[in-house]
């Protein structure tokens, strides 16, 4: 078997094992939370008898290991279970049906931010390396370090104050629905996307800059410069292709953050994504919804990091051309 194929299969196996362990952690952590859905729904009328009857109705009277096996078995079949919010009624609300539109909104916001952040970060990183130690380089580094040092909610409120309240360029609340048109969705998600862009751009820009500057000291780069090749061409055509491995890794980490770290941004802008849904589900102790959201976040994070590992392996000449 080719070394690169074997390494990729090993990474895939580790990814599946990690996801299995994460599912156990998620289920166990939620089981240890104080209180429960019955207490949250019944309120002051929650007596031991009514709580026990309510838990029996929604299946919480069974052992945890049985419920975990049923949960994992359902997920393997594409069924995330039934929300507790419909307990006691004739209409059952499947978690998959509840999550699907919210998941679309979250991925829409993450892709929108990625389309802005990734090209902008790579461009700024290349320019900062090209004009190293110049005024442009210092300004870009100062601005990006400032944005990364500030909490997401602070950046969100500052942008909301200036661009939504003062200038009225964007919406302060990013409420969307199934009837919202594509262009209207972009307009309403603009401020959350800009917030996420400002938060993640520093990592990608600085890694691009550092990777290229590190390669500029390589012998083949010095030879290209001695041949009289313009510095810009040396960086774009010779240094950048060999710097993809660390850059792609950082890009994947930040793309994973776009999906996993949108919770705060969605809550601030009241954006109906999966992060907002998870916060609401935690408040109401709707554990099937919380478990599904947490597992989706974990699977997305693991998948993107796994993709970064595979791309780094594929772009590694030592594995592509083994001796």
Q: Which pLDDT tens digit goes with each residue over 9-50?
A: 888 888 889 888 988 988 888 777 766 666 666 666 667 777
Note whether 66 and 316 are within 8 A (CB): no
Burial 96-112, CB ≥16 within 10 A → b, else e: bebbebbbbbbbbbbeb
Range in 15-24, 103-112, 135-144, 219-228 the model is least confident about: 219-228
Q: Is residue 140 part of a domain?
A: yes
Number of domains comprising the chain: 1
pTM listed for this prediction: 0.79
Task: Using the predicted structure, report yes or no on whether residue 2 has a pLDDT greater than 70.
Answer: no
Q: Is residue 321 part of a domain?
A: no
Look-up of token digits 């104080």: 34
Altogether, the residues listed in the chain come to a count of: 323
Task: Using the predicted structure, report yes or no on whether residue 90 has a pLDDT greater than 60.
Answer: no
Task: Using the predicted structure, report yes or no on whether residue 137 has a pLDDT greater than 80.
Answer: yes
Read off the pLDDT band of 299 (50, 70, 90). confident
Q: Is residue 208 part of a domain?
A: yes
**How confident is the model over 130-143, as a mean pLDDT?**
86
Task: Using the predicted structure, report yes or no on whether residue 205 has a pLDDT greater than 70.
Answer: yes
CA distance 57 to 86: 11
The pLDDT value given to residue 320: 55
Note whether 254 and 262 are within 8 A (CB): no
Look-up of token digits 């031991």: 48
Q: Is residue 76 part of a domain?
A: no
* Tokens describing residue 314: 């594929």
Note whether 304 and 257 are within 8 A (CB): no
Q: Between 228 and 195, where is the model more confident?
A: 195
Q: Is residue 308 part of a domain?
A: no
Which is nearest to 54 in space by CA: 36, 80, 32? Answer: 36
What are the residues facing 94 on neighbouring strands?
82
Please provide the DSSP assignment of 8-44 as one string.
HHHHHHHHHHHHHHHHHHHHHHHHTSSS-HHHHHHGG
The pLDDT value given to residue 42: 62
Convert the pLDDT of each residue in 58-87 to its tens digit. Answer: 677 778 888 888 888 888 888 887 877 655
Q: Is residue 120 part of a domain?
A: yes
Q: Is residue 218 part of a domain?
A: yes
3-state secondary structure of 53: helix
CATH number of the domain at 269, please.
1.10.3720.10
Domain with 181 in it: 95-285
């Amino acid at each position: 078997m080719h070394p690169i194929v074997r390494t990729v299969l090993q990474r895939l196996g580790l990814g599946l094992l990690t996801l299995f362990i994460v599912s156990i952690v998620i289920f166990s952590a939620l089981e240890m939370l104080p209180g429960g859905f019955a207490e949250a729904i019944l309120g002051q009328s929650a007596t031991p008898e009514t709580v026990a009857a309510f838990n029996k109705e929604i299946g919480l009277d069974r052992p945890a290991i049985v419920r975990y096996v049923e949960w994992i078995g359902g997920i393997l079949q594409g069924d995330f279970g039934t929300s507790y919010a419909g307990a006691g009624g004739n209409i059952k609300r499947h978690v998959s049906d509840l999550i699907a539109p919210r998941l679309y909104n979250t991925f829409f916001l993450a892709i929108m931010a990625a389309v802005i952040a990734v090209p902008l970060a790579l461009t700024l990183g290349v320019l900062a390396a090209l004009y190293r130690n110049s005024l442009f380089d210092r300004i870009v580094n100062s601005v990006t370090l400032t944005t990364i040092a500030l909490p997401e909610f602070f950046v969100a409120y500052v942008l909301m104050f200036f661009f939504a309240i003062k200038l009225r360029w964007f919406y302060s609340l990013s409420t969307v629905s199934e009837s919202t048109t594509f262009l209207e969705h972009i307009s309403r998600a603009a401020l959350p996307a800009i917030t996420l862009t400002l938060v993640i751009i520093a990592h990608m820009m600085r890694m691009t800059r550092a990777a290229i500057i590190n390669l500029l000291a390589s012998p083949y780069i010095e030879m290209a410069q001695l041949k009289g090749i313009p510095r810009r061409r040396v960086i774009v055509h010779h240094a950048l292709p060999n710097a993809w491995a660390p850059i792609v890794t950082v890009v994947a980490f930040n793309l994973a953050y776009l999906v996993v770290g949108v919770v705060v941004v969605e809550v601030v802008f009241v954006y109906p994504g999966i992060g907002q849904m998870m916060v609401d589900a935690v408040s109401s102790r709707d554990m099937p919804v919380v478990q599904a959201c947490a597992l989706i976040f974990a699977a997305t994070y693991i998948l993107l990091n796994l993709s970064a590992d595979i791309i780094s392996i594929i772009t590694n000449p030592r594995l592509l051309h083994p001796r």
